Amino acid sequence: MRDTPLSNCERRFLLKAIEEKKRLDGRQTYDYRNIKISFGTDYGCCIVELGRTRVLGQVSCELVPPKDSRPTEGIMFFNLELSPMASPAFEPNRQSELLVMLNRQLERCLRNSKCIDTESLCVVSGEKVWQIRVDVHVLNHDGNLMDAASIAAISALSHFRRPDVAIQGRDITVFSPEERDPIPLSIYHMPICVSFAFFLQGSYLLVDPCEREERVKDGLLVIAMNKHREICSIQSSGGIMLLKDQVLRCSKIASVKVSEITELINKALENDRKIRKEGGKFGFAESMPKERITTLKRDEAPVEMTDVKETANEIVNRTETPTEAVSSPVLVAMGTAQVGEGIVNSWGLDEDEEDEPQTEDTKTDEVLVISDSEEEEVVILNEEAQKSTKPCKQK
């Protein structure tokens, strides 16, 4: 399944926004998206969230024979997978160009930079060494996979613990975590990748591009650096020519971002270590916000119903009887009304109607009185109406 291409309107809109130094998610030019690192129940398993991009890193180990060229060094193996679950553009069981580039860049960043002491992985020289395998699975793709993959890989390696071993002659005994505490890896430094996207032939630069920004980019520069400002690897793609000043400016920006991310990783590791030491709950389920977990079960609140009548009677006795009710609304102005005592009822009358003089017909009032016994209707006329009903005397 192929990914849906961008329309010309979307492309022009994105490029115009980049020219005005605006981004879709409201970030500035050099801002990273929010980074969240959470560790699983087992050592060496972590999930990194870079905005909407989610990457799972898993580290495992096994005893294997060493390479003939390096009999006293362990083996590091990296594997990155792109599944259709992350994006419809990824096809299963197929080596795409993006997958090959990401795997090579990850190996340059972590293995070729000698960030891990491989000699400490040797058990018996020339016979048995530890092979450390790092699997990186992309769970959701929203741009900048290289940075998220490097953070997930180095975080999982820092969190991983290998089993302890004992050697007696030619016999090698591997102890379980219950028998002996596992041993962490010896890590010299933490290389982290920082991606820079260039637009309009290198005229504009963005840090941590999202998926839509990557579609309209002209070139990409990935710098792998540690907090000591040592460049571990650098890779440029896209076919654009970069000036020396642009590369130096990107390296300065990368040094700041790498130091911040390294501090975040160390803080996450320290929190996980503290929780495990205190015996608290840890894992992916505990790291999820509680408000996102919904349930249909609700605790019933007990309500005492024995003295309901007594309480109701007390409330009724405390209330005072209302005074004389007044319901004479008065229209003070158009759209307003007033209820008061001794005010003439003029509800719904306009100012013009109030100023008109009353005619003789309107002065005649009829009052309907219904007796309780015989229910007879008696019409009482006012004084002016009675005078008008008397017969005229003839002269």
Q: Give the Å distances, CA to CA, from 83 to 20, 95, 107, 337.
A: 35, 11, 20, 69
C-alpha torsion 155→156→158→162, nearest 10:
180
The answer to whether the beta carbons of residues 64 and 121 sit under 8 Å apart is no
The answer to whether the beta carbons of residues 176 and 164 sit under 8 Å apart is no
Q: Residue 369 has what pLDDT?
A: 45
Name the nearest CA neighbour of 330 among 319, 320, 343, 341: 343
Q: Residue 364 has what pLDDT?
A: 44
Q: Residue 372 has what pLDDT?
A: 47
Name, in order, each residue with C-beta under 8 angstroms of 225's C-beta and a sequence gap of 6 or more.
191, 192, 194, 231, 232, 251, 254, 255, 258
Q: Residue 102 has what pLDDT?
A: 92
Q: Residue 121 has what pLDDT?
A: 92
Name the nearest CA neighbour of 150 among 289, 254, 282, 41: 254
Q: Residue 49 has what pLDDT?
A: 94
- Alpha carbon distance 96, 124 (integer Å): 39
Name the nearest CA neighbour of 235 among 81, 107, 79, 149: 107
The CA-to-CA distance between both ends of the chain, in Å, stands at 115
Evaluate if pTM is beyond 0.75. Answer: no
Walk me through the domains of the chain, giving residue ranges and CATH numbers: 8-287 (3.30.230.70)
- Residues linked to residue 377 through DSSP beta bridges, in sequence order: 370
Q: Give the Å distances, CA to CA, from 21 to 17, 30, 174.
A: 6, 11, 57
The answer to whether the beta carbons of residues 193 and 208 sit under 8 Å apart is no
Name the nearest CA neighbour of 55 among 40, 37, 43: 37
Q: Got the DSSP string for 248-278?
A: HHHHHHHHHHHHHHHHHHHHHHHHHHHHHHH
Q: Give the Å distances, CA to CA, from 68 to 62, 120, 169, 345.
A: 18, 17, 22, 109
Q: Dump pLDDT digits (tens) for 95-145.
A: 888 899 999 999 999 988 999 999 999 999 889 999 999 999 999 999 899
Q: Dump pLDDT digits (tens) for 155-171.
A: 999 999 999 999 888 78
CA dihedral sign, ordered 19, 24, 25, 31: negative
Q: Residue 370 has what pLDDT?
A: 45
The answer to whether the beta carbons of residues 175 and 164 sit under 8 Å apart is yes
- Alpha carbon distance 105, 348 (integer Å): 81
Q: Residue 83 has what pLDDT?
A: 86
- Residues linked to residue 55 through DSSP beta bridges, in sequence order: 48, 138
- Alpha carbon distance 29, 391 (integer Å): 102
For the chain, what percentages of helix, strand and coil (3-state, to nearest 5) are there? 30, 25, 45
DSSP conformational letter for 331 = -
Name, in order, each residue with C-beta under 8 angstroms of 129's C-beta and a sequence gap of 6 or more.
63, 64, 65, 66, 72, 73, 74, 75, 121, 122, 123
Give mean pLDDT in consecutive 10-residue pieces for the chain, a chain of 395 residues: 79 92 89 92 92 94 92 92 87 84 92 91 91 94 93 95 88 88 93 93 90 91 93 88 90 94 94 86 68 54 65 76 55 56 54 50 45 45 48 47
Q: Are strands 45-50 and 122-124 parallel, antiparallel or unpaired?
A: unpaired
Q: Give the Å distances, CA to CA, from 23 to 109, 193, 207, 255.
A: 29, 22, 11, 23
